[in-house]
């Protein structure tokens, strides 16, 4: 059984997740990526991680039932004996304008984000409690171009993720487990194809930093929250958006 620290990363087909896998591998972690069977994998995911083939693995299963999560966590514990870090990543669904928001789209967004986050934390937390240590990071859906792409249902999901974070932070703090939310800005690598060039230019102009967020900007917050310097930070949210909400 390997005694290296272990990170479980949920959903891996966008740039923030890939950057985090690379970071944890470089830090000597064993990384296990949980992927939904219904999620189409980006072609560049595995090619980006070839250099770390011996340090990371992928477990693909249905995210629809908590029993699948329970079975997945047993596989991690049997292989490595511990879980030190859980990274919950969002699933980016097609943007919907307010008038086009259907009941199906709403529930798909909830299931892909809030429900998955709850399932992952609920099955991993008991093992972190036994260790008396853990780091849980819930990455919320990136901010969008609110003036033109009125996907306001994402705002409700972000608030739900913040609520999940606070709930588990209260429960797990006594076990030296921290739980925090990261709210990214508009990530250039993933979201540029979702908007027209004029929309991107207009939105970039509104950001005090005058640029879109890079995945690495978010990764630096992951790095801090998993360090000893963040031992006493829990139940909070960190916004990484270049000041667009000012």
pLDDT at position 115: 92
pLDDT at position 196: 76
DSSP letters, 77-118, are: HHHHS---EEEE----PPP--GGG--HHHHHHHHIIIIIHHH
| Token couple for 128 | 């972190």
Write out the chain's pLDDT in tens, 246 residues: 445 899 999 987 778 888 899 899 989 999 999 998 865 555 555 666 666 667 889 999 999 899 999 999 999 999 999 999 999 998 766 555 556 667 777 777 788 889 999 999 999 999 999 999 999 999 987 766 544 444 556 777 888 999 999 999 999 999 999 999 999 988 887 766 666 788 788 878 888 999 988 999 999 999 999 999 999 999 999 999 898 777
Reported pTM: 0.89
Strands 134-139 and 177-184, sheet pairing: parallel
Locate the DSSP E strands across the chain.
Answer: 6-10, 30-36, 56-61, 85-88, 134-139, 177-184, 237-240
pLDDT at position 108: 77
Q: Name the residue ranges covered by the structural domains of the chain.
A: 6-240
pLDDT at position 217: 94
pLDDT at position 148: 45
Fold assignment, 6-240: Rossmann fold (3.40.50)
């Amino acid at each position: 059984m390997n005694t290296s620290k272990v990170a479980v990363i949920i959903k891996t087909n966008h740039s923030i997740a890939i950057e985090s896998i690379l970071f944890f591998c470089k830090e000597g972690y064993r990384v296990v990526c949980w992927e939904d069977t219904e999620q189409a994998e980006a072609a560049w995911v595995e090619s980006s991680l070839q250099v770390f083939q011996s340090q990371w693995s992928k477990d693909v299963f249905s995210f629809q039932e908590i029993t699948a999560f329970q079975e997945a966590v047993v596989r991690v514990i049997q292989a490595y004996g511990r879980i030190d870090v859980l990274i919950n990543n969002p699933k980016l669904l097609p943007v919907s304008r307010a008038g086009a928001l259907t009941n199906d789209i709403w529930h798909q967004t909830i299931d892909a984000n809030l429900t998955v986050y709850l399932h992952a934390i609920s099955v991993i937390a008991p093992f972190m409690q036994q260790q008396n240590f853990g780091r849980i990071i819930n990455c919320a859906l990136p901010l969008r171009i609110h003036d033109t792409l009125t996907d306001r249902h994402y705002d409700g999901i972000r608030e739900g993720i913040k609520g999940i974070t606070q709930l588990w932070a209260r429960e797990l703090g006594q076990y030296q487990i921290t739980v925090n939310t990261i709210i990214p800005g508009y990530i250039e690598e993933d979201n540029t194809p979702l908007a027209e060039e004029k929309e991107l230019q207009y939105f970039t102009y509104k950001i005090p930093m005058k640029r879109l967020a890079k995945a690495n900007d978010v990764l630096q917050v992951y790095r801090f929250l998993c360090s000893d310097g963040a031992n006493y930070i829990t139940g909070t949210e960190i916004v990484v958006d270049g000041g667009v909400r000012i």
